[in-house]
Each structure stands twice: as structure tokens, then as C-alpha cells.
Structure 1
């Protein structure tokens, strides 16, 4: 099976807590959609097996209208075989999901929504410069469910200066009460030269509190797992049968094709990424050229990547698979390094797989990086 990621670079606002912003104007939508469809044609030979997942991310691809969705899916269906019961996900902002938009989605092949809720409190959303309100977040979820879309994932942010422990408790309760089957949740991180960073520097806002973030992370783990969610990746919680198939393919090292400006892909030997500049991307595709950079993965790269993703998931690190991917002496060095962490109880070795002790989940990335070999 194969996996397809479409990066559709439209965004209506610049979030306060990051520099992630797309300059593509809405006047360029038609050109961008045409270019994405043309890139799919140019790369038709890369996808030789049925598509198990299709993920429309961005940006905010939910700003596309019905005709644009139709154009993209018509091209995919013309060029590729789609597996029965394929997971087809659309990233969406709550403020885009009015009744008309939800109806368009239901009439398309899309069968899963990933909604950027972030919080059910307006003070959090204002801090993050989100376009939607808490009421719109609630209404968009219910509206989608009423239309028959059951497979919904929501994003939540914890550890914000405005998010008290009680507010975080209420955010989690709201997600449970709404019966969403999947939650992706991330600690607030502050990028340089952002509005929030400026406010922190001026003393207008309190800085991010690591202890508060760790406490809210643990609150989330205990609350969601006690309500039937599986904590299958550090930042992801799913009810049985509602794990993200697309993201799981990344974590299991499966091949995927990335289409669109700045989209990344992996072919088993190397990683590649398209040019990020939207205008240059469109121009190159119009000239039947792929403007990409490629990186052949070294044995160390493979080792470090498998370490990182393995320790973040319930699947662990398959030692036999890892040993088959890298030189024997590199594997031996890495395995020697793991012994201290096993003795300290941070890692657990079971049936030739290495797992992170759940008690240390909040520190997963730090533990993984300690095992990296450069």
C-alpha cells in the first residue's frame, strides 16, 4: 500500500505562537490547484500500489470550494488506484466548517476530519490569534457529526500561559463529552520573533512553564486513557479503530509521496521535499519540472530516525528490523548505549523490541536524542 500527502498552502491568519504562514493569496488558488494536479500527473510513476491513505494538509485546505475538491479528487482517481476503505483526511479550521462546507465534504471522498480546535476557551484562542471562537469549535464538531462524519480528530494545545489546570481539565472533558474518537495534543512552543515571544519579553505574558506543561500532559494521559483512548503515540490518543492510519504510516517507516509546495516524501532510500516558495513552485510545475531537494539517508540518519519514532509510539523499536537496516558495528554501539537506560528503568526490552517506559513519556524526545549517534 502507498500513502499520499497533499500540501495545500492556504492560510487565513498568522498564528501568534509560530512563524508558520503562507503567502499564497486566494487569487492564486486556481493556479495552485492546477499545479498540484499537474504534479500528480508528473509523478504518476512513483505510486505503483493502491493508496491506503490520502491526507490533505496545509495550510488550511478547507478553504477550497467544491469544484476545487472535485478537480483534485478526479485527478487522483484518474491516475491511481485507491484501496477499499482508504482513509482520506482533510485538515480544517472550525470557522470554515459551516453547513454548506460540511455538505460539500460529505459529497466528496473525504471520510476523516482533522480539526484545529486548539482550545474551547476564547482567551486561549485570542492568545493564539485563531480566527474561530470556542463556540464555533463546539458547533463545527457537532455539525460535522450530525452530517454523518464520525471519524474526527481534534488538535488541542496545552501549557499556554492562559491555560490554567482547571481550563485544561475542562478542555479534556469537552473532548470526551463531544465523543470525538481521536485527539492530537501538543505543548505550546514559542518561536522567535512572534507576537507571544514579544509579549513575554515585555513582561505582558508569563513565559512557558515547563512544570505546568508536564503536569497538564500527565492530566491528559490519565484523563483520556481512563475514558477509552489508547495513547498510541506521545501526542496522539485514539479510540480503538480510530488511530490515524496516515500518521501511523510515517511512524512505521512506510513509503509516502508528498505533493505540493514544501511537501516532503520518502521512497525508502531518501527523503525529498518540494520548494517552499509558492510562486516558484507553480512556475516550475507549469514548465513540467519538479523543483526538489533530496537527501540520501546515511546509516546514522536511519538509526536516529527509527530510534525517535520507535520510542514515541506503542510499536517500539524492532531490534531485528533496526539491525537489518544499519551496519553491524553501528548497531552494536547503539545497543551498548541503551543498556544504561534499561538499567535506569527508562526503557523496557521485551520480545526483541525496545519500548519507552510510560512513566517517562513526557521526556521521550530527550531520551531518544541521548541515544542518537552522530
Structure 2
């Protein structure tokens, strides 16, 4: 489906389940996750199952269409692989009591290397999990240790081989450009290992420096804790990203989105729902949702703090998405993908004044080498992907009011 085409109410749903618990919190992490007791996790699973069971009431309250057919399911976190098998089974039971999960559905489980017990892996596969995404971040031991990751390169490679031997159809990994002490040589080592070990999907993110993580706060303060002094300069991190964009497509990992690389048959169908504005529902802490309405769509999200999760049955601050918001989202989500946006379709489906202002900005960005227009599609260049936030701001400057 073209990224600018409105999905129909009958579109299959994407489901995200947040499991916000970790064995240890990484210094760069800015997610709503942390270390909790077994009792806290058990109580959370109970609340999660109640939220899943109540979602038809939630959708009705919001006057939103809720597709009951699910073709992608993503368990993220946190580290969902730390759940007990019985807890994972309860979550899937709750999902199947509310939704119909289609045969061949893409079902993904996030995990940390060395933190997937045999019994949990067996249960996950019994429940239909066919993709596992490993939070590797780096295959260089010093870099992993600097941000609080407990695994080594050997742990990672052994885990990947173990998952492959167990019959997991797709095993992918995340890498981060810009970790403390990272160099061109060490980054190249991570790329070499990642492309030689049989992985089917790679995500490459640039280290995010912000006040929502311990490492980010220390870097901004100019401090020494959490190895902040070892974080490479922004220019070096950008160079590492460019290296990945050049290296990975030459080694069977074509880029298909700003941060994602995989052959066509192994690309994430779930994430594509976000980029194409298909309906999706999120359950659990800090989970976000977008459902369609007869004349637009609605977004809503759960609380970011564990103490408040489950306190309200109905989202307290849903956001209506109307024509202007739809136009903006179509642009910045569609341009994340390498295939870009269909210019003619965007022109046909958008109000004339909105498209005209954006088209003028696009012409300027094309002249600056941040975008190209090719076969009726706007696409970001490599430099445009590096500066994507600036590109999106310039494109939408005349749209926002």
C-alpha cells in the first residue's frame, strides 16, 4: 500500500505490548523501563491482561474503529524475555481472547543477549513468536561495558547461534553509533560481525543525548560519570552512521528506512504500520496507539510512570488527528522510508494550500542536496537522513499554525 493512502477501517491491526522491565538499566536508556521485583512484574502482567480485555470498551468510548484481526504483534520493553513462561502465556491468552491473530502473523520478541531462558524461548515459540530482536548495541566488549551492558561479543554470537539452532525464523540485532570509546575501527568491527553471523535484520541508531538518560545528562553537563568523556563527537557519530549506510547494503542488508536494514523478505511489517499510518494499538506502560475514526483518527497513550499505569480504564487525553495532522504525519513518516513519498498521490489527496507550501520547501531542499525527486517520489539523500529532523521542520514550516 502506498504510504500516503489512507488505510481502511478493515485493515488488520498491529499490536504493541510494553514489558518495561530490565535486569539492569543502561546508562543511555531514556525509555520508561527499569529494574523491578518479581511481585511488581506479576502485578503488572495482571493489569496488562485487564487492559487488553477492556480495549473494545476503550475504542467504543473514543468512537474509534478497532480491527479485531491482528497480523503483527511486537513485544518490546524493557526486556520481555525476562518474563516467566506462565506470564508470557497469560498475555498471549488475553490477546487471543480479544483478537484473532492471523496465521503467518509477524510476532516479534525483544531480548537481551544471554537473557532468554530455554523455557521462555520454548514458550515464546509455542505462542507463535517468529522474530527475535536482540539489543546487542555493540560487538565490542569495552563499549558494551561502558554503558552498563553485561554481555560480551562472545555472549552475543553464542546467543545468535543458539536462537538460529532453535529454529527462530528471523534473528535481528540493534547497533548504536556513538557509544563511549567507539572509533571507526571498533564500529567497523561491529559491522563486520553483524553481517557475517547470519542475522536477518539490523537496526542502526545514533546515540541519543538528552536529559532523560543518565549518560545524556552527564554529557550535557560536561561531566565524567558513566564514561561521558568517552562519547565521540557528533561528527564522528555521523561518520559511523554513514559507514553503516555504505557498508550494510554491500553485504546483503539494503537500507529500507532511516534506521533499518534488511532484505525485502525480512523487513519489519510491524514498524511499517507506523510509517504508513495503519491502525495500531499499544498495551502497557507508555504504550501509544492510533485508531481510525469515520472522519480522521485518534491517538492516545498510557502513563509513563509505573505507579499510574492501570489507574484509568479510559485514556485521559486522546488527540484527534484531522486533515492538517494527517498531512504532516504522511510526510515525515513516509520520508523515513527509503522509497519515499509519491508526489502525485500526495498532491491529489492533500488540500491545495498545504501541498503548495510543502512543495516550495521541497524544491529548496532538493537544491540543497537533502532530498531528491525521482520517478514521482520525494526521497531523502544520505545527508538528508542525517539531518532528517531539520528536513521535516523545513518541509512543514509553512503548514503548522
TM-score (norm 2): 0.86
The answer for the alignment partner of 2:214 in structure 1 is 194
Note if contact 1:106-1:147 (Cα within 8 Å) is conserved in structure 2.
Answer: no
The answer for the alignment partner of 2:9 in structure 1 is none
The answer for the alignment partner of 1:265 in structure 2 is 289
**In structure 2, which of residues 374, 386, 398 is the aligned counterpart of residue 362 of structure 1?**
386
Note if contact 1:13-1:21 (Cα within 8 Å) is conserved in structure 2.
Answer: no
1:230 paired with 2:254, answer: yes
The answer for the alignment partner of 1:22 in structure 2 is 33
1:254 paired with 2:254, answer: no
Change in 2 beyond 3 A, CA 1:266/1:291? closer
Moved more, 100-109 or 146-155: 100-109
The answer for the alignment partner of 2:164 in structure 1 is 145
The answer for the alignment partner of 1:125 in structure 2 is 144
Moved more, 355-364 or 221-230: 355-364
Note if contact 1:302-1:326 (Cα within 8 Å) is conserved in structure 2.
Answer: no
Aligned pairs (5 A) from 1:143-222: 143-192=162-211, 194-195=214-215, 197-198=217-218, 201-202=222-223, 205-222=229-246
**In structure 1, which of residues 30, 52, 55 is the aligned counterpart of residue 71 of structure 2?**
52
**In structure 1, which of residues 338, 343, 353 is the aligned counterpart of residue 377 of structure 2?**
353
- Aligned equivalents of 2:289 and 2:381: distance in 1? 31
**In structure 2, which of residues 14, 20, 33 is the aligned counterpart of residue 3 of structure 1?**
14
- Aligned equivalents of 1:34 and 1:91: distance in 2? 20
- The CA deviation string for residues 151-199 of structure 1, in whole angstroms up to 9 with x for no partner, is 0110001122311111111101111111101000111122236246436
**In structure 2, which of residues 94, 97, 100 is the aligned counterpart of residue 75 of structure 1?**
94
Residue 359 of structure 1 deviates from its aligned partner by: 5.3
SS of the equivalent of 2:162 reads helix
1:282 paired with 2:310, answer: yes
The answer for the alignment partner of 2:24 in structure 1 is 13
**In structure 2, which of residues 305, 322, 340 is the aligned counterpart of residue 316 of structure 1?**
340
**In structure 1, which of residues 107, 111, 124 is the aligned counterpart of residue 130 of structure 2?**
111
- Aligned equivalents of 1:317 and 1:189: distance in 2? 27
- Aligned equivalents of 1:167 and 1:100: distance in 2? 35
Residue 228 of structure 1 deviates from its aligned partner by: 1.4
SS of the equivalent of 1:17 reads coil
- Aligned equivalents of 2:389 and 2:341: distance in 1? 14
1:95 paired with 2:114, answer: yes
Note if contact 1:99-1:143 (Cα within 8 Å) is conserved in structure 2.
Answer: no
Change in 2 beyond 3 A, CA 1:125/1:270? same
Note if contact 1:261-1:274 (Cα within 8 Å) is conserved in structure 2.
Answer: yes
Q: Which runs of 5+ in 1 are unaligned?
A: none
Residue 14 of structure 1 deviates from its aligned partner by: 2.2
- Aligned equivalents of 1:298 and 1:131: distance in 2? 46
Q: Which runs of 5+ in 2 are unaligned?
A: 1-11, 60-65
- Aligned equivalents of 1:86 and 1:315: distance in 2? 24
SS of the equivalent of 1:53 reads strand
- Aligned equivalents of 1:12 and 1:253: distance in 2? 33
1:331 paired with 2:355, answer: yes
Q: CA RMSD in A?
A: 2.2
